[in-house]
Every structure is written in structure tokens, then in C-alpha cells.
Amino acid sequence: MTSTTTPRIGFLGLGTMGAAMAHHLVAAFAEVTVWNRTPGRDEALVTAGARRGASPADVGAHSDIVVICVTDSPQVEEVLFGDHGAALGLHPGALVIDCSTISPLRAQDMAARLQEHHIGFVDAPVSGGSEGAQKGTLTIMVGGEEADVARAHPVLATMGATITHLGPVGAGQWTKAINQVILAGTYIGVAEGMTLGLKAGLDMEKVVGALVGGAGGSWVLANRSGRMIDNDYPLGFKIALHRKDLAIALDLAAATSTDVAVASLAASYEDELIANGHGEDDNAALARIVRERSNLPH
């Protein structure tokens, strides 16, 4: 840690979620260094005051706390431990906050490898979609040692509104897997409900208004039912990424002999959508399958 009270922040991964999250950090911290595998994604952040990192190792060398937001376990592995990985630049006492969604077992393994070099690790997967990332209202599920989580909290608080420490390293990823299982069923339930209402010829705006404050209300009903009604699915959180997350959850379910029939059904729907070229659609596109099988335009 530097002698100043404000830590130097690094951010690796500037996709749909990461770029928005990094903008909040640039606004809140004096020194932020950013890097993305695809060149050009950092232009707006550099204009806003961020330093452009030459590599993950360079970001690590200029940071006390590094935040990672990439797609999957292999990408986290690469940006941390690859030939130009951040671990090469991080100093003892530094902290890594991984906001990616990966297996809790991989998170624990990476934490152990970093601990050998006296570098802390917190797994902090997020939920709330691109809207939450842009507004700084993400829900963040955190696993790690108490001291590391306390150090991470000011950083996480710039990006999220609900931050919950759930236990040791891996607990955040377990909770994210649970979140994705619940979402899978909720998306299908809302899609079926919206399709049933459309088949009945109801005013669906009124239907949603009547339901959203009741027992059937949910974030998906409030924020994604309109897309299902309109059969239009602009990107918020893409099908392909949710399917990746469900694979983690299904593996955990298999390892613990847990019945997740609805999540398995959602995974089969998502496989069908991806095979038909809809993997980049928002996750609300699960409604395409329900609409198709109900003889509505899809």
C-alpha cells in the first residue's frame, strides 16, 4: 500500500459491465489504471482521467487494489497468472477483487496462489445487469477474509448498492450460482406468464402493473417483461453469459446431489437459443422459446 490514504486502483476487463464499473472508480479515486484485452475500449476512461495500462502486469505494478471483471475462469487465470499477468506486478500486501463469475473452487485456488506472495483475494461477483453497472447500484456477493473484505469495501461501494460478506473465499461465487439458478426459473416464469396474457388478448401493461407489486413481483417482471411482450431483446446480460454461469451452477448441483430441474430446463432453452444465433440477445430472450411453442411470433 502507498503511504497515501487513498489506494491506487487497477481495473482489468472493460466489457459491458466492466467499463461502467470502472467509470465509477475513476470518479471516486485519484489514481486508476485500466487495461482491456481489446484495444480501444479504454478511450472514454482515459479521457475521464484513468491511466492506460500496458498489460495486466503493468496495472498490477501501479496498483494497491486490482479489480477484475472478465468472462470466465480461464480469462481470470490469464490476467492474473499469464505471461504478462497482474500477479507479476503486484507487491506484497496488495489486494485482488474478482468481480467475474467463476467456479468457487477456482476462486479458492487462485486465492491460495496469491497468498503465497502475501497478496489478498476477494471474490465479489455482481448482479444487476448493465443498468446496475451504469448506475452504481449492483448487488455484490463477497467472499474473503474479514480484513481483505474491509479493505475492498470502499472500492465495492463505488460500484454497488448492496454489498454482503457471505463467508470465506468462494462464498460469493456460491451465492452467485444460487442467484443464477433463481433467475433461470424467474425468467421462464415471467416469459410463460407474459405469453399467457398475450394469448388471452389482455392489456399487458396493465397486467404487469397489477402484478409487479404483489407476490409475483420480481426484478425480472419489472425490468424485462416489456422486452418479452415486445419480442425485442436489446443487450442487458446476454444469453451466452448466463449459460456459462448456469454451467457452474449445474456442476455445483451435481457435486452436491441437488435437484435443479428448472435451471436444467433453462439451460436447454439457452442452448437452443445459442444454436439459433441468439446468444448475444438479452437473457429475456428465453421468451423466444415460450413464444415459439405457443404459436406467437418469436
Q: Please report, to the nearest 10 degrees, the dihedral formed by the alpha carbons of residues 246, 247, 249, 253 taken in order.
A: 130
Distance CA 124, CA 175 (A): 10
- 176 is annotated as an active-site residue: yes
CA distance 175 to 104: 9
Candidates 250, 281, 284, 292; CA nearest to 267 is 250
SS3 state at 142: strand
Q: Rg for the chain (alpha carbons), in Å?
A: 20
Beta strands in 13-169 (DSSP E): 32-35, 51-52, 65-68, 95-98, 120-123, 126-127, 138-143, 160-167
The distance from CA 203 to its chain's CA centroid, rounded to whole angstroms, is 34
Q: Per the residue annotation, which of 176, 199, 238, 244 is the catalytic one?
A: 176
Pairing of strands 126-127, 65-68: unpaired
- Pair 8, 31: CB distance under 8 Å: yes
Q: How many CA atoms lie within 13 A of 86 on its CB side?
A: 37
Neighbours of 268 (CB within 10 A): 10
CA-based nearest residue to 241, from 273, 283, 276: 283
Active site residues: 176
